[in-house]
Amino acid sequence: MIKSLDTFLREIDEGDWAVISSATDYPENWVIPDHSHEKHQLLYATEGVMVVRSAHNQWTVPPHRGFWMPSGHVHSLRCVGALKMRSVFVRPGSFPNLPSETKAVSISALLSELIKASVSLKPPYAEDSRDARIMHLILDELALLPALPLSLPQPADSRIQQICAAWRHDPGDASTVADWSARLALDQKTIQRLFRKDTGMTFGQWRQQVRLLLALERIALGEKIIDVALTLGYDSPSAFTSMFKKQFGKTPSQFFT
């Protein structure tokens, strides 16, 4: 049974534990609306894809990767496929050297096993016990979380939002800056300037990133590489695989193993 969001947040945030883990499974397409935690949170999915969204950014987090959210940051979550989510909550100020920025992160094999073991542990943890050592090892690993390029900054300008919304609806859309300039009655240089100002990316970089992140969702749901490549506007599976490897350092098949 899935607890209500209010119940879950109250149980987590009212507890006076320095660190605790939890396990929750969600059905396909489940949405957790905007909320925040008084504690830092590491999200980790052993199965399924998480799409985490804040006011100014969005992250697509495949299985076996994680997402670090410092306390107080408002965010929502959408499940792509059935999701088996494991979380670690840390009380702010309890431990030094934890990341201060919100980010998608790589999860080491060690941290993965530690998290899986920790969800059955209940505080308080007896000093120098196995339970306490597991939780301390988790904290050591949290301080070393490497960031992954899985974010998609969200524009504030309403005109740029129109372009981005069109790409989400039809990621294979090959419209150029010139095409959008005519549609929006907006100078091409202004479009590029607004993209850089709002997202830190060019028009082309943002389109490439949204395509690749949508590809992660589709591949995780079992779609064939050739179908994903053609739907997202690539000329061939090899062109898609080349761009995917350039961005993520692995081919699609390697990325999901």
Superfamily designation of domain 158-255: Homeodomain-like (1.10.10.60)
* Amino acid, single-letter form, for residue 230: L
pLDDT digits (tens, 9 = 90+) for 22-78: 999 999 999 999 999 999 999 999 999 999 999 999 999 999 999 999 999 999 999
| CATH topology for the 5-142 domain | Jelly Rolls (2.60.120)
| Residue ranges of the chain that CATH labels 2.60.120.280 | 5-142
Q: What gap in Å lies between CA 57 and CA 79, rounded to an integer? A: 17
User: Band of the pLDDT at 5, cuts 50, 70, 90?
Assistant: very low
Nearest CA among 68, 65, 71 for reference residue 83: 65
pLDDT digits (tens, 9 = 90+) for 170-229: 999 999 999 999 999 999 999 999 999 999 999 999 999 999 999 999 998 889 999 999
DSSP secondary structure letter of residue 50: E
Helix, strand, coil percentages in the chain from 3-state DSSP, rounded to 5: 40, 25, 35
Q: Return the residue matching tokens 């079992």.
A: 222
| Residue ranges of the chain that CATH labels 1.10.10.60 | 158-255
